[in-house]
Amino acid sequence: MLIETHAHLDYPEFAGDFDDVLRRATEAGVTRIITIGTSVESSKRAVNLAEKYPSIYAVIGVHPTYAEEAEEDVITPLWELAKSPRVVAFGETGLDYHRLPSLELTKERSTRATQSIADAFQYSTEEGIEAGIHDGAYKSKQASLFEQQPDLAVELGFNVVIHQRDAWNDTLEIMRPYSGKLRGVFHCFGGTIEQANQVLDLDHLVSFTGIVTFKNGAGVREVATQIPLWKFMVETDCPYLAPVPFRGKRCEPAYTRIVAESIAAARGLPLVDIAEATTETAEKFFRFRA
Ligand SMILES: [Zn+2]
């Protein structure tokens, strides 16, 4: 019995064979699936799915990469959605600096010049300075969207699902004051053991995806063997990050089992031990009410 703690079942990738996706999850022993909202609209779809299917639960929030297009007030609609007893946490929220305006500019230029020359001139031109200003605005927009969500979660008694990409220190700084008020799960964890310990020291959790099965995922797999059994959960982040042997294909919740099996093998434990521990951790972290 496993809980898939991070799926995007409202994405169009699942529209064609939704019932088969759920059936394969059940057959793989994945008895509960948490579907994660990435915008207000996506969160609405997540709640609708959770109200329709008994094995699905919803997490509601606005993803940092939607910061530019997000509505001025996301809190009122999230507050309304949280009234559904099928909502079990807030998120995914956090920071994502992977596509900063200045980095996009560098990428654009590297098609015209070599990477190192583009880097050297990045901030020496008006274009570069402009992009740097945009970076600041983009980051502060993400930060304000981010902070509102754990604030609401504390008020309503929920934990939060955290998305972090290329923004480690800023994400940790924003989460620091919430220790003791709520818990966060740093989902799709891909960092070092030191970073995992920083998260655990703040009484937060991590969760692992199919990356633990990748050839170049040895570092993350190692982290998954070193941290205490009760400090992590398993997920797929489907439709992305399908584990080996499905790498590159569409991912789905049934593959949570492959993630758990991979961690079990790396830790030298039977699958049932990983299943029991991660299920218990998820039952405490998420607010299952109905
Ligand atoms: Zn996600």
Distance 187 CA to ligand 1 centre (A): 8
Give distance in angstroms: CA of 106 to centre of ligand 1: 26
**Cα 131 to ligand 1 centre (Å):** 27
Q: Please give the pLDDT value at position 120.
A: 57
Report CA(117)–ligand 1 centroid distance (Å): 35
Residue 95 CB: number of other CB atoms within 10 A? 26
Contact predicate 4/256, CB 8 Å: yes
Residues pairing with 104 in the sheet? none
CA 95–ligand 1 middle distance (angstroms): 12
* Cα 189 to ligand 1 centroid, rounded to whole Å: 11
In this prediction the pTM is 0.91
Rounded to whole angstroms, what are the CA distances from 75 to 61, 66, 162, 173?
9, 14, 17, 22
First to last CA, the chain: 18
Residue 235 CA to ligand 1 centre (angstroms): 10
Cα gap 6→192, rounded to integer Å:
21
109: which 2 tokens?
A: 């230029």
**Burial annotation 224-236 (CB, 10 A radius, 16+ → b, else e):** beebeeebbbbbb
36 CA distance to ligand 1 middle (Å): 7
> For residues 123 and 284, what is the distance between their CA atoms, to the nearest angstrom?
48
Q: Give the Å distance between the CA of 86 and the centre of ligand 1.
A: 18
Q: What is the 3-state secondary structure (H, E, C) of the chain?
A: CEEEEEECCCCHHHHHHHHHHHHHHHHCCEEEEEEECCCHHHHHHHHHHHHHCCCEEEEECCCHHHCCCCCCCCHHHHHHHCCCCCEEEEEEEEEECCCCHHHHHHHHHHCCCCHHHHHHHCCCCHHHHHHHHHHHHHHHHHHHHHHHHHHHHHHHCCCEEEEEECCHHHHHHHHHHHCCCCCEEECCCCCCHHHHHHHHHCCCEEEECHHHHCHHHHHHHHHHHHCCCCCEEECCCECCCCCCCCCCCCCCHHHHHHHHHHHHHHHCCCHHHHHHHHHHHHHHHCCCCC
What is the Å distance from ligand 1's center to 228 Cα?
Answer: 24
Distance in Å, CA 8 to ligand 1 centroid = 7
Cis peptide before 245 (omega within 30 of 0): yes
In angstroms, what is the span from residue 35 Cα to ligand 1's centroid? 9
Quote the ligand 1 centre to 121 CA distance (angstroms).
35
**Tens-digit pLDDT profile for residues 147-174:** 999 999 999 999 999 999 999 999 999 9
Cα(237) to ligand 1 centroid in Å equals 5
Low-confidence ranges of the chain (pLDDT < 70): 107-124, 290
Report how far ligand 1's centroid is from the alpha carbon of 102 (Å).
24
**d(CA 135, ligand 1 centre) in Å:** 23
- Rounded to the nearest whole angstrom, what is the distance from the C-alpha of residue 63 to the centroid of ligand 1? 8
| pLDDT tens readout for residues 99-121 | 887 777 776 666 665 556 555 55
Query: Cα separation of 101 and 120, whole Å?
Result: 17
